[in-house]
Structure 1
Amino acid sequence: MLDENSGGKAVNGKRFQFTMKISIALCTYNGERYLREQLESIASQTRKPDEIIVCDDCSQDATVEIVRDFARNAAFAVRLYVNEENLRSTKNFERAISLCTGDVIFLSDQDDVWHESKLEKFAAEFEQDENVNLVFCDAELVDENLKPLGKTSWKALQFDAKQQTAVNEGRGAMILLNRNVVSGCMTAFRARYKNLILPIPDDLDYVIHDFWIVLLMLTVGETRLIAETLVKYRQHASQQIGLSADADE
């Protein structure tokens, strides 16, 4: 733990703590170009997280200093862990998830931007139904400068209204298994299933950490989707995985 700054949400001058604790697992690697915008979008949430766990994968730029600077003024705990060796994406997310102490874990990339109501709307789904173990939303595809590309993630993947209804009614398992419409930055899950999810295999073709989590969470409870674009999903040349705006053409 290199940096920590904890706090709660003040309402009408009084300290108010939510009963459900929210963790964000954020993985970084040479992310200085975009990281500040993502951290600022988290700080601007209408419902603040209780902690951000940042696992840095041996960055060689100013990423670590950006996180440390953010932590000094954050209204919640920011815990930074710098890996001794490069773990790569899957194992870095595995480490970040394992270090989270909240009841619900959100996955965060370093280069996206979250809508200010994302945490609040996700939390409402979990708090309204104890059987809901996985929640995900849609995302707006944007370029490296956050300019809209005219399409959402679900539209690019042809995840239509009929399929969305099937998921919310508990009939969507085969839809979600056939193709990955649930990217990590659009996802949150209950932390009580960490032992089921971890370790995450890194030797399976076409299976990365977010799809692995979806596969397992489908076996233990209900899934809810929020049919709103609550993430600006940045598409750029240096990202590991992205979606082309013409993916469905």
Structure 2
Amino acid sequence: MPRVSIIVPNYNHEKYLNDRLKSIFNQTFQDFEIILMDDRSLDGSVEVLKNYSKNSKVSHLILNDINSGSPFGMWKKGFELAKGEFIWIAESDDWANENLLFELVNAIEKDTSIVVAHCNSYFEFYEKTIPNNWWDSLSLTYWQKSYVESGEKLLLNYGRYKCPVINVSSAIIRKDILKNIEIPIEFRYCGDWWFWAQIFKQGKVTFIAKYFNHIRMHSSSATATKSLQTFNRFLENVRVVKQIHQLLNIRFTYSKKYKWLIDIWEQFIRIDKNYLKTKYYCNDLPFFFKSAMFFRVNNLLFKRLKRKIKI
């Protein structure tokens, strides 16, 4: 049996597939199978995948007849097909350093209680490369060195405030823990946060402070579309935060580390310019979150009033 099952879920990433798949086939660690999946792409992705499916490393080529509407259904199907001890979900528009698998497998094998190994990532903006700054609002130093830590402790300190894994392509997990995990197929935007929270709760986490993963940032990328696009995305984030606190059996209270969530909330109100529309306040956030938001809205209304008076 292969040590690692590599799941490559794809949707309309024809122009990135060659880079992604070459970065997989060229890994220094070669004990793996590849499961290629397409979610009813409208470009030429299927032909590219069919060409690569002839390689002996490819165990499955799954072509959906109907688009699933969520990446997490593809993950679930891949998990069911995977034969490896470890699983790597390699998103089709990202790419990896040739030593990513070697380093992650070596790290996770050091202790059977380690359930996930992940590394740092670069953001790739066309011709500009930027080191991951996702965790900077939580700590400027913690992710500068490698570590092995209790997943539950990481959730308490960091993972309840932001997704604790920057990008699924940067991590491998033990397949056998998936039997205890709710695959977030009903989520559309931030199911990965809930997915990682459950996994972290299962055991230890090892992090490698090296930049082996490259996250391609473009208008249709999964990471890019986690920006300020729909109010439903905000509500889904709220739902995940609440579920993580329930998972940890702790009270859900306000913290300045949730400023990014308040920022998203305010953004929708600013775009609509209807600061008192009821729908923007009908969510499950506790009172102190809403108090922080009302304070901002009061400031916005005051500034708006000042502008009108000047006119």
Report sequence identity in percent. 23
TM-score (norm 1): 0.79
Q: After the TM superposition, which residues 4-153 of structure 1 pair with which residues of structure 2 at under 5 Å, given as runs?
A: 21-72=3-54, 74-87=55-68, 88-144=70-126, 147-153=127-133
Equivalent position SS for 1:179: coil
Describe the SS at the equivalent of 2:212. Answer: strand
Deviations 1:184-228 (A, max 9, x none): 111211000222224324248x632x3222111122111000101
1:234 to 202, 205, 216: 216
* Structure 2 CA distance for partners of 1:81 and 1:198, relative to 1, 3 Å: farther
Residues in 2 aligned to 1:49 and 1:31: alpha-carbon distance in whole angstroms = 26
> Secondary structure, in 3 states, of the residue corresponding to 1:33?
helix
Pair 1:162-2:145 in alignment: no
Question: Could you tell me which of 189, 207, 218 is aligned with 2:190?
Answer: 207
The corresponding residue for 2:163 is 180
Q: Is the 8 A contact 1:31 1:110 kept in 2?
A: yes
2 CA distance for matches of 1:50 and 1:101?
A: 9
Q: Which runs of 5+ in 1 are unaligned?
A: 1-18
Query: Which protein has the bigger helix share?
Result: 2
TM-score (norm 2): 0.65
Task: Give ranges in structure 2 of 5+ residues lacking alignment.
Answer: 228-259, 261-311
2:247 corresponds to: none
Output the CA distance in 2 between the equivalents of 1:201 and 1:60.
22
Is the CA contact 2:143–2:209 (under 8 Å) kept in the aligned structure 1?
Answer: no
In structure 2, how many angstroms separate the alpha carbons of the residues matched to 1:230 and 1:166? Answer: 13
* Residues in 1 aligned to 2:47 and 2:11: alpha-carbon distance in whole angstroms: 12
For the aligned residues, what is the CA RMSD? Answer: 2.5
Q: Partner amino acid for 2:140?
A: D
What is the CA–CA distance in structure 1 between the aligned matches of 2:79 and 2:36, rounded to whole Å? 10
Give the counterpart letter for 1:177 in structure 2: R
| Separation in structure 2 between the aligned mates of residue 138 and residue 91 of structure 1, nearest angstrom | 26
Are 2:93 and 2:216, in contact at CA under 8 Å, matched by a contact in 1?
A: yes
Aligned residue-pair number: 222
Task: Tell me, in whole angstroms, the C-alpha distance in 2 between the residues paired with 1:185 and 1:109.
Answer: 6
Taking the aligned partners of 1:166 and 1:122, their CA distance within structure 2 comes to 12
On the 8 A contact 2:155/2:164 being kept in 1, the answer is no
Shift of 1:151: 2.8
Q: Helix, strand or coil for the counterpart of 2:53?
A: helix
Amino acid at match of 1:143: F
Task: Indicate conservation of the 8 Å contact 1:142/1:149, yes or no.
Answer: yes
Report the CA distance between 1:153 and its aligned residue. Answer: 4.4
Larger Rg belongs to: 2
Matched AA of 2:218: H
> 1:221 corresponds to which residue?
203
